[in-house]
Structure 1
């Protein structure tokens, strides 16, 4: 049997992973797991999504005709799930807390994106750009310049701009308030592995998430207007502000840093890719949330900190897992589920009027290469996925979060 089923020619994604020399240990759901790590959870604690997801090592439930998992997967943690049903097809250390880097921006977006009409104009202040970590990835937001909310979100998603995140967080009230709201949102979604310290994913002591939680954030995001439109945008024009002489500068092109989306650096664009978000810091290593659609099925893959040393390993491993997932869906058994509904808002969670009544959504400005400016939504009990409008580690201030 090949990595992706009998008689199939291995794809570039499978070849890229199979050629690595890292061994893969597999434990089948319902059988003892090989202890290649731990999830850091307290003994006896209820495992969100199902008991198998709390076991260390790889969890998969193959049946007759199931494709084999890609060989050589080196990430400390990963997960493959169906976006519509929430079914988890396979995982490794799904609940292991790890620094998320900029993939945490998905939770930021799920929390803040509905709060402002996309056409809203905002003049940035020096205060709003204060506190952006040294070495952060930036899109080039300038104090004193006017931007639409859509401009800022393209800065967040394409350039992974921590400057744009801080502006939006200040617009939302303050950075601490936004962090509190993000934590409350994570709890509502059942993302119990996540501890939020910074809204942009910049390395901070105690800031962690997990492959499971990142999949929750992506799934919630795909049901949020505008989210998929931004995550699937490859390039866009960003306001130029002023040049070094203080004169108006022309807009400049920004490119998404997600190589599965752009195909840059020899990775190749993954067929049907929707996004979602990549990240990197020294502590987190490379992290990635990827979503793709083939036919009427959309899969979410999360990959945290590949250890193979292969160039662009996070993209190659994610691509291989997506390819496997589309083969395994409908054949393999489920090893767990993504949480299917919001919990009640904790009584201690800070609330604003926008929590219960989000501001009306505007229309995002058109980007140069975008699959859509819409989002993904599930429609009632039928659960039909449709296109809608729409990083505990020591603190290092010389880190880049992108």
Structure 2
């Protein structure tokens, strides 16, 4: 038997290694990457993904904003907290009147209506005893200048009487599911006390109230003028809601203030086919509630449209 020399073993081992390497190379051929693709790629185009901006800050004690078209809640802060809502109460007053009266019905103002606003230090529509106005015009007097004289006259006639009217307000609230709401008068004044609602309830009420074409028209009006006639003096009422005519798509709805309630605002706007409804309760500054509402509407509108434009102040 011939014993292989060391040189022969080395040649055989080397050959085996060459065969193995060749086999592995052939096996990997199907997975080979072209040489040009193996080179590090240069910097490609970048796609910028901006995070959706956070909701604007709300300083007021409570706030609520939702998309009534989709039911999406956009913002909620202490939204179920029960608190006084001042003249936002008059939204329910208008809602009840529109179910009890005809818009062309005539109401005669009496001394008690005028005295009610004057003695309580409430805002009025400058009505005088003996004037006769339509329900439609009195609703302008309720919603634009927030006239407690106008709301008192309507409640007196369509209660009939204040107590009867308040009972109808609370019955309407129950039927609408406003579980955190209780009314004690038709205007939101502190007397007799005990009246309260929530930001969420008031937003729900606003959404329903604005379905009425007459109330939608009234609440969206910046100024209503009545020339003098045989039945009443001339009146010009300007909407206390500063969003009207300034914020795109703004529809109203109502302002309010008492010391206990702070500055309140029920607001709405149509944006890109969506109706946004909001409520701010208990702000310490009058103008801030409007700036906050404007920012919230613009922010929510941007979420709907997919844009992220700068939020403009009023």
* TM-score, structure 2 as length reference: 0.75
Kept after mapping to 2: 8 A contact 1:114/1:225: no
Kept after mapping to 2: 8 A contact 1:101/1:279: yes
Match of 1:284 in 2: 261
Kept after mapping to 1: 8 A contact 2:132/2:232: no
Secondary structure, in 3 states, of the residue corresponding to 2:122? coil
Question: Higher Cα Rg: structure 1 or 2?
Answer: 2
Q: Deviations over 1:106-137 (max 9, x none)?
A: 11112222322212222223344454451110
Please say if 1:189 is aligned against 2:176. yes
Kept after mapping to 2: 8 A contact 1:89/1:329: no
Please say if 1:209 is aligned against 2:194. no
Match of 2:153 in 1: 167
Q: Deviations over 1:307-353 (max 9, x none)?
A: 4x5x611101111111121223488xxxxxxxxxxxxxxxxxxxxxx
* TM-score, structure 1 as length reference: 0.59
Match of 1:293 in 2: 270
Please say if 1:102 is aligned against 2:87. yes
Match of 1:177 in 2: 164
Please say if 1:257 is aligned against 2:240. yes
Kept after mapping to 2: 8 A contact 1:238/1:253: yes
The alpha-carbon deviation at position 222 of structure 1 amounts to 1.1
Match of 2:27 in 1: none
Kept after mapping to 1: 8 A contact 2:272/2:301: no
Please say if 1:324 is aligned against 2:299. yes
- C-alpha distance in 2 between matches for 1:189 and 1:216: 8
Structure 2 residue runs of 5 or longer lacking an equivalent are 1-48, 307-314
Match of 1:400 in 2: none
- C-alpha distance in 1 between matches for 2:93 and 2:250: 21
Match of 1:87 in 2: 72
Change (3 A) 1:80 1:329: farther
Match of 2:110 in 1: 125
Change (3 A) 1:239 1:171: farther
Match of 1:147 in 2: 133
Secondary structure, in 3 states, of the residue corresponding to 1:323? helix
- C-alpha distance in 2 between matches for 1:129 and 1:140: 8
Kept after mapping to 2: 8 A contact 1:306/1:313: yes
Aligned residues: 255
RCO higher in structure (CA 8 A, sep ≥6):
1
Kept after mapping to 1: 8 A contact 2:166/2:183: yes
